[in-house]
Structure formats: structure tokens, C-alpha cells
Amino acid sequence: LRAREAGKVGAIGYSGDGDGLAWAARVAEFDVLECSINLFDQRALDLVGAKRVLAKRSLGNAPWRDDRRPDRADRAIYWDRMHAMFDAPPTLETAVRFAAWCGVACALVGTSSEAHLAAVVAASAKGPLPEAGAIRERFARVGADWAGVT
């Protein structure tokens, strides 16, 4: 707080999910929240209020790339959620446009591929996803109790 008051930092933030995020969302001193937000991780959207939000895991580990359920736990969670929510796997464009245009300040995407990054930028440039409301409703029906993946 002293650093912000002295002009040494522009914002104070919290990164996390679950109970910690719920607490941080209520703390006036936090300007920015970084939390899991994607097609399969939406609970945070109802918690963050007017805070600036950085959406981590904005592609939800891209479970549509896997032909079978992954062994790694964090990837398997998103695989299971994808199959619970969608009859057919969503596309990269659907995931990007949902995450980038759901009211966050920034949707973080990790990649080492220039081609992948170019595809993400091109998808985001198309603007808000018309079916975002329907996806939010589907999440509310199927995944309302799913915790953010850490």
C-alpha cells in the first residue's frame, strides 16, 4: 500500500482461485485479480465485480487437442469439463473469443509457437463471441460447482 501511495507501483494484485479469490475480490486494496477464466472455468466471473481481471488459463489447457483423456491431472480436469459441457469439442476461436471478451482486462495465453500466437490474435480480433451468453448458461447448469483449476 505504501509503495502504491508513493507512486512506485500502479496497482496491487492477487493471483489465485477458490476461497482466496473470493476473499481478494472483497478487499478494496486489490486493484487487479488474476484467476482462471475460460470456457470451463467461469465461477470467477461472478466474484470479481468491478476489479480489473487477468484471465489465466484462458484456453483451459486446450483440451480439444487431445484424442483421449490426458493422464496429467490439470489437463484431465479440463478434458472432463469440456465433454460435460459440449457435444462436440469447441474450437480455438471459440475459446479465445469467449475468454478475451467476457469482461476481463486481459486474457493470458502461453505459447512457444508464433503460428499459435498469430491464430489467437486473429481470433480475438473478431470480437465478442455471439454465443457467449449460451455458454455462460450451460456452465451455470453443468459446472456451477466446479472450482477454478490452480
pLDDT digits (tens, 9 = 90+) for 8-33: 999 999 999 988 999 999 999 999 99
Residue 112, number of CB atoms within 10 A of its CB: 6
Average pLDDT of the segment spanning 115-120: 96
pLDDT for position 45? 92
pLDDT of 150 strictly over 80: no
Residue written as cell 456451477? 144
CB neighbour list of residue 31: distance below 8 Å, 6 or more residues apart: 11, 12, 13, 51, 52
pLDDT digits (tens, 9 = 90+) for 55-105: 999 999 999 999 999 999 999 999 999 999 999 999 999 999 999 999 999
State whether residue 35 is helix, strand or coil. strand
pLDDT for position 47? 87
Query: Under a CB-based contact definition with an 8 Å cutoff, are residues 111 and 56 in contact?
Result: no
Average pLDDT of the chain? Answer: 94
